[in-house]
Structure 1
Amino acid sequence: MNEEKQQPELSGLREQKKIETATFAGGCFWCMVKPFDQLPGVISIVSGYTGGYTDNPTYEEVGMETTGHAEAVQITYDPEIFPYERLLDIYWQLIDPTDSGGQFMDRGASYRSAIFTHNEEQRQKAEASKQALEASGRFKGKIVTEIVPAGPFYRAEEVHQNYYNTHRNDYNLYYEASGRVDFTEKHWRGKKDLEQLRKQLTPLQYEVTQHGASEPAYDNEYWNNTREGIYVDIINGDPLFSSPDQLEAETGRPSFSQPLNEGLVRKEADYSGSQVKVALKSRLSGAHLGYLLRSETSPSGFQYEVNSASLRFVPKEELEQAGYGAYIRLFSAIVNGPTAPEDDHP
């Protein structure tokens, strides 16, 4: 994501839409950009310093613990496309909220976790999410992450912007050594989480989304669906595909020329068979969706073959009520509805 091109346009965007700002501290800001980057509705992500008492601090000064500032990221986003509650859900899974002395391998107040709220509505939502996390019993220790009013935010030096893309080798080495991945797997993808999923899903949905099973061709819910609407993640409701992009189901499973939101679908190499395939996964839920295939008949040259068991269909007439009003614009039969950013769906 290129913040340089986004920043001059923000004032105009705020007049046209309900563009808002979220600010989170979660240890090293290098690791706090990628999880939010390229999500639908996220316009820009800036790494910087906030929460302290000096003006225009440098990376070295903050690291010396003499400024009171924490490394943080400031996210500009459209809450109609990606609400603040979803940003909070992602944030809690990136940090150790019981650690008051820093985050993972980075120690000191400059690496503390904190939610900096920009208005009363954000404060209430942040407090509610913190209370829900405490009540869940997911962590044995006390939740110590601060929720404080946002103050001046100072953009970090350019070398620290979008670091995971500009310094990939250094970032990958640092991230793997930080302990974040193991911590997340232990606390957010444990036995209780899988048990909850078993209760939420049918046996077939569970096997497909969690173990990469394939449902029977021509014997699944959406392979021949002709209704207009969108297809969302069966686990968390993320909007993944739409009927305007749906292809003829030559393989007996619902297929699409492209995702509804590219940032919500992850591609991974699958070495389980005799040939390497490209598996499709839902980025935020981790659900297995299907496979990416080459196609001479698809406008994109690709076919996203997806299991019906990974999806839930929302008809166009129910989009507004179901909370997907921003996608009404995809259907010409519905006019004068809310609109979504043009870059959310090529």
Structure 2
Amino acid sequence: MTAINKKLSEIYLAGGCFWGVEAYMQRIYGVRGVQSGYANGKSDKTAYALIALTDHAETVKVVYDSNLVSLPKLLRYYFRIIDPTSLNRQGNDRGRQYRTGIYYQDPADKVIIEQQIEKLQQKYQDKIRIEVEPLRNYVAAEEYHQNYLKKNPGGYCHIDLSKADEIIIDPADYPKPDDETLKAKLTPLQYNVTQHQHTEPAFNNQYWDNFAPGLYVDITTGEPLFSSRDKFESGCGWPSFSKPVNKGVMDYRQDHSFNMHRTEVISRSGRAHLGHVFNDGPLAQGGLRYCINSASIKFIPLAEMEEQGYAEFIPSILAPE
């Protein structure tokens, strides 16, 4: 993306020890820069040895391209790594400097933040304890705190950094078209498979033997479903995958048709019939085999993923085995 298309914004996130929060946020697609610091204390000057006195919170400044990642999505990543009901405590760390907080500069962000916290509160009985305040008295932390976990790979971290690798996929971004649109958009085979649970012929379908790098998406909505990294040759004649790109992108129901007992796989947003999942997949990859109709999915080659809006999945496809 060229510089002219960038729309850089800032948000300040406190979530316990800033070493881990900084390293975690660096891994989020669309984040352009991070900085460990101290925010919302009583003074415009402080240091690591003084924050208990000045009441600053260990905070990470996050600079992000809002054309690539929205503030609501960024906050959902943040919520993954905190206990939002804990007061002045995260992980093994105790004290006011480890409180949770979201500090904003743009007043319009306050409404967005409060909306996301309201949604989060619905998941908890205990009260959410995240401070939401305008940013004040922010001080960058000492240099040795910056990129601490890169400098000290075995250093203390209270969060699971791998949580950044499971990309958040918002179903609202992939609405299901109405039936008339689907009929116009899909081939008769694609329509009958996705909407009427038909099955295409084995060994005579588009992707059963395709192992090029890329992403497989729902043919009806474009919602990401499977990565080429998780595709394997099963010998069944249909595309086979060991797992979806995200656990939430599909639903399941029992299928007792044809006097068989199977688990049907349905796309989350499109409610499209995809195929079935079985327990005879490679044990080293989790033991599952998602047997999927080619007619239910569309393959986005690696070289076209950025152009078609799937750039955030590129690093996971290029990652070494």
**TM norm structure 2:** 0.55
Contact 1:35–1:90 (CA under 8 A) maintained in structure 2: no
Q: Which amino acid aligns with 1:157?
A: E
Partner in structure 2 of residue 45 of structure 1 = 34
The one of 126, 150, 154 equivalent to 1:169 is: 154
2:83 aligned with 1:96, yes or no?
A: yes
RMSD over aligned CA atoms reads 4.8
Give the corresponding residue for 1:153: 138
1:165, CA displacement in angstroms?
Answer: 2.1
Distance in 1 between the 2:59 and 2:247 partners? Answer: 21
**Correspondent of 1:142 among 127, 135, 151:** 127
Higher helix share: 1
How far is the alpha carbon of 1:152 from its aligned partner?
4.3
Q: 1:253·1:307 contact (CA, 8 Å) conserved in 2? A: no
| 1:330 is aligned to 2:315 | no
In the alignment, the residues of structure 2 paired with residue 104 and residue 146 of structure 1 have an alpha-carbon distance, to the nearest angstrom, of: 18
Consecutive unaligned residues of structure 2, counting only runs of 5 or more, are 164-201, 251-280, 283-288
TM-score (norm 1): 0.52
- Which residue of the partner structure matches residue 86 of structure 1? 73
C-alpha distance 116-240 of structure 1, shift in aligned 2 (>3 A): farther
Distance of 1:112 and 1:162 partners within structure 2: 21
Identity %: 30
**When the two structures are aligned, how many residues end up with a matched partner?**
231
Q: What is the CA deviation profile of residues 228-281 of structure 1, one whole-angstrom value per residue up to 9, with x for unaligned ones?
A: x953599xx569759xx9x998986769xxxxxxxxxxxxxxxxxxxxxxx988
* Local SS of the residue matching 2:121: helix
Contact 1:233 1:282 in 2 (8 A): no
Matched, 1:17 2:6: yes
Kindly name which structure, 1 or 2, has the bigger radius of gyration based on alpha carbons: 2
Residue of 10, 13, 17 corresponding to 1:28: 17
Q: How does 1:188-199 map to 2 (within 5 A)?
A: none
Cα 1:170–1:230 shift into 2, 3 Å: closer
Assess, with a 3 A threshold, how the Cα gap between structure 1 residues 225 and 16 changes in structure 2: closer, same or farther: same
Aligned pair in 2 of structure 1 residues 167, 122: CA closer, same or farther (>3 Å)? same
Query: How many Å separate the matches in 2 of 1:46 and 1:283?
Result: 29
Contact 1:22–1:117 at 8 Å: present in 2 too? yes
Gap change, CA 1:328 and 1:103, over 3 Å in 2: closer
Counterpart CA distance in 1 for 2:83 and 2:57 is 15
Matches within 5 A, 1:289-304: none
Residue 36 of structure 1, CA deviation: 2.1
Task: Map residues 114-153 of structure 1 onto 2, 5 A cutoff.
Answer: 114-136=101-123, 139-153=124-138
Partner of 1:302: none
Structure 1 position 120, deviation (Å): 3.2
Describe the shift of the 1:106–1:118 C-alpha distance in structure 2 as closer, same or farther (beyond 3 A): same
How many Å apart are 1:283 and its aligned residue? 7.9
Alignment partner of 1:77 is 2:64? yes
Following the alignment from structure 2 to structure 1, what is the Cα–Cα distance between the partners of residues 247 and 151?
23
Aligned residue for 1:94, secondary structure, equals coil
Shift in Å at residue 75 of structure 1?
Answer: 1.2
